[in-house]
Amino acid sequence: MPIPKLKEYQPKQGTAGFRTNGFSLDPALEGAREGITTMLSLAGRSDGQGETRFVKNNSLAEEAYALHCDDAGVLAEAGGETGAVHAAAALAQLALENGGVLPACTAFDEPRFGWRGLSLDICRHFFSIGTVRQIVDLLAFYRFNRLHLHLTDDQGFRFESERFPLLNTVGSHRESTLIRKHGRSEQDGVSHGGYYTKAELRELVAYCKARGIEIVPEIDMPGHALAMIASYPELACYFDEQNPVRVATSFGVSEFSKILLCAGNEKTFDFLFQLLDEVMEVFPFEYIHLGGDEAVKDEWKRCPNCQKVKKEHGLKDERELQGWFLSRVSRYLNSRGKKAIIWNDGLCASLDPGIVCQYWRPFLAAGNRSTAHYANAGERVIGSDFFHMYFDYPYAVTPLKKTFHYEPVLRGVKKSARGNFTGMECAVWTEWIDTEEKLFFNMLPRLAAAAEAGWSKQRRNYHAFVGKLPSHYALYERLGLAYANDVEKPKPFWKQLKTIKTFLTQNTHVELPGGGV
């Protein structure tokens, strides 16, 4: 049985005539050809004598599909191009589990949630576009449909801007990076940087489209904007030419977190609107993420321009000033046919309706700052609970089983409002992930567990899930990807504590093979 589990599956006697080296495709599904080819190739070579056909079935939803597999061949019916890629991924997994042989069967499948994504931070540590494409293939293999690209932060700006070239010559590079290895936290003194060209990103857009995946670009504001402010210091409330702001070389919420984009300066919005125009030219999809998290508002409190705006608009405090800021940018996106997403830190009374909330802190606050309250008011929500879905944490903090059993719908949500939870995203923040080995080790097999949480209804069977993993481990090895192969059972509590302590104080690579567990 594939991961995530098929909604309906009926095994039959015998095996199916299945070929991975050729298939026929309904012209209505032509846009999925590359994605189907890639998914089938992951099954290895299968030279069955039957025909493999992909046809469009207009009675099915876009992501839904049905499989009919017998000795005559394979018929995959799909509601749309995305469903066709999902069908190919399911066929590949069925064959992988059975040594390259496809069992005879019928199946029907569709997702529980319409939004199933991965948020990838390429700011704290930059990874090549080739690495991102590898991740996209894994997302398609596990039937995800969103890649959330965290393109801007305090530690780097990763999007090519022709209108604001200093974002790349200044903002895309930092002088050093804080590391925590061998029992010490220290700056490594090594320059780190990079950004994706628009040509690379347009190619990535096409690559994702062919695999049924939409990209959600994130331009974080008003905080986590130090790379932008280092490039154009006039965007901040205050700047000192004798002591210029620099791209951050350390992580977390710190003194530099107080340096925000100025809410009382029209130049801020002129800059953001022009930058977002560039982003929208590259990414043709519906949603753009505006961040809105961890904005320490000390400078706003003493900035006369920010205080003037707060007074003019009758805003109660700086939190509502941020709501006004994000709403203004959201309205600009709306005027261009786009919709905004923000982290749940930004929820407040002054926020415009219609902005999608992505929660990472599930019980942040009460009242109009509560995510449950927001959903109950009819607004849409994406779940990214950091207790379950943050893959930068060690497995000792977030065991595989914990991710597998994640439920995105929060307590306190009315039954009538549960449909406002549109889906889930897992997240890989890369403060302490500085190599491809560490990146994939932290993602695999967690990505498979997260896929189950986004696709399948509750009452999932973890024991059955673990039983499927060996064929996936074999695939990771064939693809040359690092993965964690001993995390099916949570470690004893004392071992978890030891690993966590080592991670926090001595060695961020503690769980890697040879990393000092």
Catalytic residue IDs? 153, 224, 294
Q: At what angle do helices 198-209 and 266-282 cross, to 10 degrees?
A: 50
Distance, CA of 94 to chain centre = 26
List the one residue out of 58, 26, 55, 54 whose CA is nearest residue 40. 54
Q: What amino acid occupies position 1?
A: M
Contact 450, 389 (CB under 8 A): yes
Burial 162-191 (b: 16+ CB within 10 A, else e): eebeebbebbbbbeebbbbbeeeeeeeeee
Contact 397, 500 (CB under 8 A): yes
Give me the residue label for tokens 């990505």. 447
Query: Cis link prior to 222 (omega < 30° from 0)?
Result: yes
For the chain, the first-to-last Cα distance in angstroms comes to 33
Q: How many residues does the chain have?
A: 517
Residue 306, φ and ψ in degrees, nearest 5: -65, -40
Distance, CA of 509 to chain centre = 22
What does the CA dihedral 173, 178, 181, 186 come to, rounded to 10 degrees? Answer: 130
- Specify the DSSP class assigned to residue 5: P
Contacts within 8 Å (CB) and 24+ apart, 166-171: 166/231, 166/232, 167/227, 167/228, 167/231, 167/232, 167/275, 168/195, 169/231, 170/230, 170/231, 170/247, 171/227, 171/228, 171/230, 171/231, 171/247
Contact 30, 52 (CB under 8 A): no
Distances (CA, A) of 465 to 188, 275, 389, 488, 490: 41, 44, 17, 10, 15
Cα separation, 80 vs 200, in Å, equals 27
Cα separation, 515 vs 517, in Å, equals 6
